[in-house]
Amino acid sequence: MSSLFEETTFVVNEWTEEFFSTLIAHLPDAVVFADRERRIDFVNDRFVELFGYDFDEIAGRKTRKLYADPKDYEEAGRQRFNNRVEIRDDVYILDYRTKNGRVFPGETCGVPVRNALGETLGFVGVIRDHTTVVKRDCELREIRDTLRRRLARTQLFYELSTRESEPFDEVVCFALETACKLFEADVAILSKIDGSSYQIVDYWSRGHVGLESGATFELGQTYCSLTLESGSVFCVDHMGESPHAAHPCYEHFALESYIGAVVEVGGELFGTLNFSSTSPRERPYSKADEEFIKMLATWLGLFATRSQTEEQLVYEHEAMTAALDLQHKLQSSDLTQADTAKVFVDLVSKVVDVNGLAVALHEEEGVVVAAACGSFTKLVGRALPNQLVPRSHSAHCKRASLRSWQTSRDVRSHADPTRVAELAYSGTRLGVLLVAPARQSTFESFDRNVLELTAGMLSARLLIAASYERVHREATTDALTGLANRRETLRRLEQASDAHPALPLHLALLDVDRFKQVNDTYGHSAGDRVLQRLARTLQRTLGNSAIAGRLGGEEFVVGLRALQIDAALEAMNAALETFSAVKFTDDKGNHFSVTFSAGLTRVGGQDTVYDALSRADELLYRAKRSGRARVISDGLPLC
């Protein structure tokens, strides 16, 4: 930001109000001149606009009237505005009050005005409205805090994934301590609920709170009774000011803030996971907080269920080797749902006697085969017909296994019967298991038990993988457009800039033309549709090889690989032509079209992505100044 003044003292031999007025009347900052008694003698047009006072209203009044806090007026007088003041060249920020009472932060430079003899004639102050800058800083701090919290929570889930082989009580202790700190709470508790009895399974606290593992309470005396009533997550920021202020737990323990979630093990109620404090929340609980505790409660339930499943392995000796081997291979925290399905098929197909084995997963386009072997190999990537997808109640079964099998002759071209069963866990339908038994007798006596046991582990891991993928999508995807968000886009561009040196990377920075006017004229919902359509246009026009992302607001960035910048320019112009031809309709039926401007540059051998972005931003500015609705490139030669 430019300095308000380069020189901090005005030295004049002779000046008049006319000269002074002409000099600064149209400056973009508010200017006020006061005499040696700090009475206002002159203000410019920007002052009238910013403070709302006409000159006649303010002339002769002391500048005290402009300060939001009288103490600031007195302090400024001692430090800057008196006849003995030494020259100060610093710029400072104070709060000012306008005629209508609005208080705003003003970046200020105040200096004396002196004649050639060094005599002080008065003082001049230049004030710049700093509201937008302060607001932007606050928004950026909030964004950074939100990203920091998301990263910390993602890190917790990653840490948990590396502890799957540890005893359940150690995992719980780690999860309670870490999550309690993330929630900035005083106490974390994992409880077990049996009827009206509430038992503390484990807890963590910042200090001595008089709790003990194994201690029991009446359920109705705890906030967790409210959690059970909610059926999922219950939270309160300030209990004393909530409708639940008369709750017995508040009367006995004075816990002001609380968030809790139901924990289920094997599809049945186990208890609750909850965090509480004796002080109200400074930052109210958000939807992200609710999703986090819900996911963590699901994780603990999954760990508990997995522990129970491992105990059952003792009684299922024939399936033990396969189950433990499968569990080991599914431990990898970076496995996707598709990877998990492939690991399952590869391992289990070597243990059971089948002609074909396949796992299909729920996706947007239907239930799609993710991994298969034997006679089902050709089904990979294909959606199952609706009539083959089981409509059972296995999602609500007590045990994470397959209990409802259906028989179909429609999966393969020949007439051998295929067994089809739903993969589900803790109330979530995850996919379908398809089995073509080699021998029916073997299937019923052995293979079915092995499949049901290992499929329970598969289901548990699929749910974990789905949670990972959801967290990853939320952390890397722009919710409105579905493109990569700013952080993920820059990561992909940096990665792409280091690869394929023979095929240069070109970077385009796009900005929707007159987007504020679109929002103001047609409404924000119409503006959202414009951004969504632009995202789809970039994806469809530029293809999967392009890197497209939203940097924020109406600004997008695209990375394209091409031997020459002309090819990248042609691709961007094609996208512009396609987008410009779209006819949008607002909520009132009004039709309108929108364009974008873009700057295109090549990422050179010594460039960083940020260097290229800076050049693209300059080119984008030229495109805007040249009339908008165009793509301008710098045409740098290959080096």
Give pLDDT tens digits for 483-529: 999 999 999 999 888 877 678 899 999 999 999 999 999 999 999 99
Q: Do residues 541 and 571 lie in contact, with contact meaning Cβ atoms separated by under 8 Å?
A: yes
How many other β-carbons are positioned within 10 Å of the β-carbon of residue 362? Answer: 18
23-32, 99-108, 256-265, 383-392: the lowest-pLDDT one: 383-392
Q: Do residues 407 and 418 lie in contact, with contact meaning Cβ atoms separated by under 8 Å?
A: yes
CA 133 vs CA 128, 130, 138, 621: distances in Å: 11, 5, 9, 21
Strands (E), 417-534: 418-425, 428-437, 505-512
Categorize the per-residue pLDDT at 442 as very low, low, confident or very high, splitting at 50, 70 and 90.
Answer: low
Longest dimension (CA), the chain: 114
- Can you spell out the DSSP letters for 278-319? SS--SS---HHHHHHHHHHHHHHHHHHHHHHHHHHHTT-HHH
Q: 177 exposed, middle or buried (CB, 10 Å; 0-12, 13-18, 19+)?
A: middle
The answer for residues whose C-beta is within 8 angstroms of residue 607's C-beta and 6 or more apart is 497
> In this predicted structure, what is the pLDDT of residue 200?
92
Q: Do residues 299 and 265 lie in contact, with contact meaning Cβ atoms separated by under 8 Å?
A: no
CA nearest to 420, candidates 431, 430, 409, 406: 406
Q: Do residues 508 and 521 lie in contact, with contact meaning Cβ atoms separated by under 8 Å?
A: no
Q: What is the pLDDT of residues 138-183, one digit of tens each?
A: 767 777 776 677 777 777 778 877 777 788 888 888 889 988 888 8
- Residue 101, pLDDT > 70, answer yes
Q: Do residues 512 and 579 lie in contact, with contact meaning Cβ atoms separated by under 8 Å?
A: no
- Residue 216, pLDDT > 80, answer yes
Q: What interhelical angle do 448-476 and 287-313 show, nearest 10?
A: 160
Task: Quote the tokens at residue 591.
Answer: 């039709």
> In this predicted structure, what is the pLDDT of residue 310?
67
Q: Do residues 322 and 343 lie in contact, with contact meaning Cβ atoms separated by under 8 Å?
A: no
The answer for residues whose C-beta is within 8 angstroms of residue 248's C-beta and 6 or more apart is 220, 221
Q: Which residues of 57-70 are buried (b: 16+ CB within 10 A; e: fewer)?
A: ebeeebbeebbbee
Categorize the per-residue pLDDT at 443 as very low, low, confident or very high, splitting at 50, 70 and 90.
Answer: confident
> In this predicted structure, what is the pLDDT of residue 116?
75
- Residue 19, pLDDT > 90, answer no
> In this predicted structure, what is the pLDDT of residue 635?
65
Q: What is the pLDDT of residues 276-302, one digit of tens each?
A: 999 999 889 988 888 889 989 988 888
d(CA 384, CA 378): 12
d(CA 538, CA 550): 11
d(CA 280, CA 261): 19
> In this predicted structure, what is the pLDDT of residue 71?
92
> In this predicted structure, what is the pLDDT of residue 398?
41
Q: Do residues 270 and 263 lie in contact, with contact meaning Cβ atoms separated by under 8 Å?
A: yes
Q: 443 exposed, middle or buried (CB, 10 Å; 0-12, 13-18, 19+)?
A: buried
The stretch 398-404 carries a mean pLDDT of 43
Q: What is the pLDDT of residues 585-631, one digit of tens each?
A: 999 999 999 999 999 999 987 888 999 999 999 999 999 999 999 99
- Residue 417, pLDDT > 90, answer no
Q: What is the pLDDT of residues 449-490, one digit of tens each?
A: 788 878 888 888 888 888 877 887 788 899 999 999 999 999
The stretch 94-116 carries a mean pLDDT of 88
The stretch 271-278 carries a mean pLDDT of 93
Residues of the chain with pLDDT > 90, as a percent, come to: 41
Domains by residue range for the chain, with CATH: 10-129 (3.30.450.20), 138-309 (3.30.450.40), 316-476 (3.30.450.40), 486-633 (3.30.70.270)
The stretch 196-214 carries a mean pLDDT of 88
**Average pLDDT of the chain?**
83
Q: Which residue has the higher pLDDT, 445 or 227?
A: 227
Categorize the per-residue pLDDT at 406 as very low, low, confident or very high, splitting at 50, 70 and 90.
Answer: low
d(CA 1, CA 107): 11
Q: What is the pLDDT of residues 45-98, one digit of tens each?
A: 889 999 999 999 999 999 999 999 999 999 888 888 877 766 666 788 899 999
CA nearest to 624, candidates 475, 515, 463: 515
